[in-house]
Structure formats: structure tokens, C-alpha cells
Amino acid sequence: MTLHIGAHVDGADPITAAEARGAGLAQFFLGNPQSYKGPVIEYAAGAAALKAAAEAAGIDLYVHAPYPINVASTNNRIRIPGRKLLQQHLNAAAEIGAKGVVVHGGHLGADEDAAIGFDNWRKCIDGLDMPVPLLIENTAGGDNAMARRLEAIDRLWSAIGQASGGDTVGFCLDTCHAWAGGADLTDVVEKVRAVTGRIDLVHANDSRDAFDSGADRHTNIGSGFIDGAALAAVVREAAAPVVVETPGGVEGQAADIAWLRANA
């Protein structure tokens, strides 16, 4: 299998950024990842031109939704703007021809009923128009997270499976998040697939922190706590497109891409 691999890059010119890394795909934010403001196409020539340039270069595009989105929340001031923002990103992603929008699973407060969060996800999916696939990503921290532990992912998938369009929702497996979230990488692909039936994208990242630390801190492959052979095995077994979200700019990410091509 030829590894279809790329990197998380700046949104101003993701095509050039991908090519500089020897990548076949690019993931990026549409604007400020910490903001509730709507998506911004930073590519100077606009959305249609970015779509055409990506197609001409043979580079697939993925959009990562902003971090504040938490559609599981019991707080209306967080949940409702988050749903709106997620819809806006799905629409903008369709304009640029993206293959999917990645969004974190979200969380509830420690004393809140997780069942409400899972049902809020069902309601969210029920109300979304999905012109491109939505890919829910596992997260590293939080004891009441919707997509940290496998048990929670199972409950999440059961909930969204009841929604209209729930069967089209995909899964993004992040190796750093899985490791820091307490999932054994040796069988995480098998266990996730048993729950979701699919893995649509892999975020291949090493972890700066120890197993089950709950810390979402990525580092370059080989410089963190994750065994290289285990990380490579996840990528092989998942057999999905791969994104490195590692530091070091062109040099650091190109090295990680080259390592994965050689080892996975």
C-alpha cells in the first residue's frame, strides 16, 4: 500500500506547504483555531481557486475545526454557537473541495451526566447538513470526555448512529491522543474499528508525555514516549490517509513524513 500522507500546515497556501514537505495532502484551519468567528479562506485567490489548485496538484485537503467547538456541552452558550460554527466549517470545506472536517469529541464537566453529552451529539448530527464528511477525533484528556476512552467512543457512536446521517460520520484516530488518553496502541485500531466500523484519517503524532497522562502535547516521531514500531503499526493497520501534526515546520514535518514512508 502506498502511504497517502501529509501534514497540518498554514492555511494561507496549503498547496505550496504540502509540496515543500513532500506531502500528498494538507490539513489546516480556516481562520483562528481558538475563535468562534466564522471560517476564513486565507488562500489569496479564494475558495474556488484553492479547490482547482489542489485538484491540479493532486493534493487532498482536510479542514480541522476550531478547538472551542464542544457540541456535547450542557451550556447553551457553548453548544449552540459550536453547532453553528461546525456547520459553517462544513460548508466552507465543501467550497474548497475538502475531503472532510475533523472535530474533537468534546467533553462535559466532571459532575455532569455524560449521557446528556452523548445525546447532544445525536441532536447535533441530526441537525447538520454534511456536504463533506465529518470526522470525530479522539481526545487525550478529561475524565468526562466524549471520545477519550473506548467505552466513551462506544457510547458516542451508539448515540450518533440514531441520528439522521449518523451512519456517514467518520473517525479520526490521533496516536498522541490515544496514548495520552490511556489506549494501548498495540490493539487500538482493532478496538476502534470494532466500535465505529471505520477509521477515515490518522493523526500520526508522537507524545511529549507519558502514557495515560491526559496531556495533548504532540512532538516529532522518535522524540517522545511512543514506541516507533507501535506508531508505525497503527498507521499500517488503519490503512487510512495520514496527517502529521508535529512541530519543526517544513524540516520537522518532512522528516516525520519520510520516516513514516520508510517504516509504515
Tell me, yes or no, if the pTM score tops 0.95: yes
Looking at residues 34-63, what average pLDDT do you find? 97
Could you give the CA distance from residue 58 to residue 73 in angstroms, rounded to a whole number?
Answer: 38
Residue at 48: amino acid letter: A
Cα gap 222→256, rounded to integer Å: 9
Strand partners, 72: none
130-142 tens-digit pLDDT: 999 999 999 999 9
Task: Give the total residue count for the chain.
Answer: 264
168 pLDDT above the threshold of 80? yes
Domain count, the chain: 1
Q: Supply the pLDDT for residue 118.
A: 98
- CA 95 – CA 172 distance, rounded (Å): 22
Question: Over 70: is that where the pLDDT of 202 sits?
Answer: yes
CB 69 within 8 A of CB 87: no
C-alpha cell at 247: 512541530
Name the β-bridge partners of 136: 103, 171
For residues 53-80, give the mean pLDDT.
98
Q: Among 66, 90, 68, 87, which residue's Cα sits nearest to residue 77?
A: 68
Task: Compute the average pLDDT of residues 116-125.
Answer: 98
> Looking at the predicted structure, is the pLDDT value of residue 1 above 80?
no
> Per-residue pLDDT tens for 88-119?
999 999 999 999 999 999 999 999 999 999 99
Q: Which pLDDT does position 2 carry in this prediction?
A: 83
107 lies in which domain range? 5-263
Q: What are phi and psi of 215, to 5 degrees?
A: -95, 125
pLDDT in tens, 214-260: 999 999 999 999 999 999 999 999 999 999 999 999 999 999 999 99
Q: Could you give the angle at the alpha carbon of 153 between the alpha carbons of 157 and 204, nearest 5°?
A: 115
> What is d(CA 175, CA 204) in angstroms, rounded to the nearest whole number?
6
* 3 state DSSP class of 49: helix
**Grid cell digits, residue 74:** 450542557
What is the residue whose three cell numbers read 466500523?
A: 197
Instruction: Give the domain CATH number at 163.
Output: 3.20.20.150
**pLDDT > 70: what percent of the chain?**
100
